[in-house]
Amino acid sequence: MVIRLSFLTAILGLLCAFNAAYVRAQEPHTLRVARNAAPPSLGNPLTSVGQPGSGLWSVLFDSLTAIGPDGVLMPALATSWELESDTRWVFHLRPGVTFHNGAPFDANAAAAILAYLMGEDGRRLYVSTEVLNISNVDIIDDLTLAINTTIPDAIMPKRMALIAVPEPNAWTRLGPEGFAQAPVGTGSFSLIDWGQATGRMRFEAFKDSWRAPEQIERLELWTVPDATARIQALLTGQVDVLEAVSFDDVADLEASGFRVWRFGGAQVSSIAFRTVGNPDSPLQDARVRQALNFAVDRGMIATVIFGGNAEPASQGAARGTFGHDPDLRPIPFDAAKAKSLLAEAGYGSGFSLTIEVLTGFSTADSLVYQKVAQDLRAVGVDVTLRSPPFATWLRKYLANDWGDVDAFSLMWDSGGYADAVRPVRNFSCAKAVPFFCDETLMPLIEQTDRIMSPAERKKHLQMVLARMREAAPALLLTTASLRIATTADVEHLVLNPPNIAYHTMRFRP
């Protein structure tokens, strides 16, 4: 944070309290949130599953199931579900639900989006990976839907948490691009305008929602790419909520009277290695990828850069994620071993590596990547760091179109359904357009979804994560807690990983 003097911080806190009180008096039930980015696809919820998109789409849409604050699957548009056979899941839908345009939600609406994702056009969308095992969908009655799969799929209810349900007539009439501009869902808020000229997306409470806002009547999501500018927006009372607070701002914010909410992280940060489409790269050799993992002092990153607010990653799943193995220890920092492995692989003299990283999400991320580059240079790897805009990074990631880039920042994100199989698939041949592919791992990964016993499946996932660590598709870094800052009068902040449940929030009188 730029402003760190306690006196000046206190003054800003007093100014914020005065300004926030004035704004609240003018618009008592408007919640303003500062975010670091907006999804390039705006209101099309089928193009990705992580932030920044999911935080916006959870405002407008619902899915059949959802992930609760404790990472446990809970009802949403479906109130219950059961496994009728190894290849047939039956979902019972919530009665009385309507879309923003007044159209009823029913089994036909749910089946329509699944059919679209299974079709030729839908297969191009990121979320379509969740329906690959579906053979067909049966509409039993208005509120009962059966999903039949080609093979046993133990996590089909979890997959449904990632598929937002758009109003089918609007989707068909407008097409994906038109719908993105004028989305219609069943969520707690409906769109007023995208605010593309101002950077302020505005929404109003949908009072007919089955999860209607308790108090908030208007919601504004402000896109503020710069981390310091986001902090200043909170300090000066322009916004009430600041997403993803950097650890080094926590003490100053709390001293100034702001509230900082802490949540366990569902993501493991890493530098992903690109081997697909990069045939001449030294990263093709597993020994090189392992060497780079030994070369980085992730313990120092966790304790010094993050001030103890993070822990060194031991695997591609955070604590609390189904499949996480608490007995798996972090990869030790061992520069000598890294050099030995590089020499064994024929790169004793080193090589060059170009890495693209996303920055600006916090004040610490640039320091982390600089530390990674420093440690890699110490073992002979000449690193060039680049920082593209998020939209550019996302386009490259989805298409694996990286040009001369060898590696890039990427989270092992299990927040979508709190299950380790999701990040495992993203770092394997199973990704729609993979950047890394080790065919020997695929039978183990595919078997994970076919084990119906939770206990057996968890044990199998732990084995897969250990094997993935050996294959080293990425340089594992740290797992950090998520911090969200609010003004002191904000209450009832609930996180349904990885999204804030804005409809539950209130202002204290």
Domains of the chain: 6-36+188-263+484-507 (3.40.190.10), 53-172 (3.90.76.10), 267-480 (3.10.105.10)
pLDDT per residue as tens digits for the range 420-463: 998 999 999 999 899 999 999 999 999 998 899 999 999 999 99
Which residue is associated with the tokens 């030790």? 332
Nearest to 97, CA basis, from 89, 109, 115, 80: 109
Nearest to 282, CA basis, from 335, 337, 348: 348
Beta-sheet pairing, 474-476 with 270-273:
antiparallel
Query: From the CB of residue 502, how many other CB atoms can be counted at a distance below 10 Å?
Result: 23
pLDDT per residue as tens digits for the range 363-415: 688 899 999 999 999 999 999 999 999 889 989 998 999 999 999 999 998 86
- Tell me the pLDDT band of 54, cut-offs 50, 70 and 90: confident
CA distance 219 to 240: 11
Query: From the CB of residue 269, how many other CB atoms can be counted at a distance below 10 Å?
Result: 24
CA distance 492 to 477: 32
30 Cβ neighbours under 8 A, 6+ residues apart: 216, 217, 218, 219, 220
- Does residue 12 have a pLDDT over 60? no
300 Cβ neighbours under 8 A, 6+ residues apart: 333, 371
What's the mean pLDDT when you consider all of the chain?
91
Structure tokens at 100: 């923003």
Instruction: Say which amino acid occupies 236.
Output: T
Query: From the CB of residue 174, how many other CB atoms can be counted at a distance below 10 Å?
Result: 17
89 Cβ neighbours under 8 A, 6+ residues apart: 81, 82, 83, 146, 147, 149, 153, 156, 157
- In this prediction, residues 254-270 reach a mean pLDDT of 88
Side-chain-side CA neighbours of 157 within 13 Å: the count stands at: 23
Q: Identify whether the C-beta of residue 428 lies closer than 8 Å to the C-beta of residue 446.
A: no
- Does residue 19 have a pLDDT over 90? no
- Does residue 416 have a pLDDT over 80? no
Lowest pLDDT segment from 17-21, 41-45, 160-164 = 17-21
- In this prediction, residues 51-74 reach a mean pLDDT of 89
Cis upstream peptide for 69 (omega within 30°): no
Specify the pLDDT at position 1. Answer: 42
Q: pTM to 2 decimals?
A: 0.80
Q: Identify whether the C-beta of residue 363 lies closer than 8 Å to the C-beta of residue 227.
A: yes
φ and ψ at residue 32, rounded to 5 degrees: -115, 130
- Tell me the pLDDT band of 17, cut-offs 50, 70 and 90: very low
